[in-house]
Amino acid sequence: MEPHAVNPWVAVAYLIAGICFILALRGLSSPATSRRGNRYGMIGMAIAVVTTLATHVPRIDLATGPGLPRYDTSYIDLASMGEILIAIAIGAVIGLTTARKIQMTAMPQLVAAFHSLVGLAAVLVGIAAYYNPAAFGILAPGGLDILAASRIEMGLGVAIGAVTFSGSVIAFAKLNGNMGGAPILLPGRHVINLAALVGIAVLVGLFHRDTPALFWAIVLLSFAIGFLLIIPIGGADMPVVVSMLNSYSGWAAAAMGFTLHNTAMIVTGALVGSSGAILSYIMCKAMNRSFISVIAGGFGAEAGTGGSAAATDRPWKRGSAEDAAFLMKEAENVIIIPGYGMAVAQAQHVVREMADQLKSHGVGVKYAIHPVAGRMPGHMNVLLAEANVPYDEVFELEDINGEFAQCDVAFIIGANDVVNPAAKTDKASPIYGMPVFDVEKAKTIFFIKRSMGGQGYAGVDNEVFYMDQTMMLLADAKKMVEDIVKALAD
Amino acid at 15: L
Cα distance between residue 429 and residue 423, in whole Å:
7
Closest CA to 407 of 333, 459, 463, 478: 333
Distance between CA atoms of 318 and 329, rounded to whole angstroms? 19
Q: How far is CA 16 from the centre of its chain?
A: 27
Q: How far apart, in whole angstroms, are the C-alpha atoms of residue 429 and residue 455?
A: 13
Grouping H, G, I as helix, E, B as strand and the rest as coil, residue 266 is: helix
Short-list 364, 236, 379, CA closest to 294: 236
Q: Which amino acid would we find at residue 64?
A: T
d(CA 168, CA 241): 9
Q: In 231-366, which ranges are continuous DSSP H helix?
A: 238-260, 263-286, 291-295, 321-330, 340-345, 348-360
Among all residues, which ones are annotated catalytic?
417
Closest of 268, 270, 275 to residue 20, by C-alpha: 268
CA torsion through residues 113, 119, 121, 123, sign: negative
Quote the CA–CA distance of 56 and 46 in Å, as a whole number.
Answer: 15
For the chain, how long is the longest CA-to-CA vector? 86
Collapse the DSSP code of 411 into the 3-class scheme (helix H, G, I; strand E, B; otherwise coil) and give the result: strand
Q: What is the DSSP string of 136-153?
A: GT-BPTTSSSB-HHHHHH
**C-alpha 126, offset from chain centre:** 24
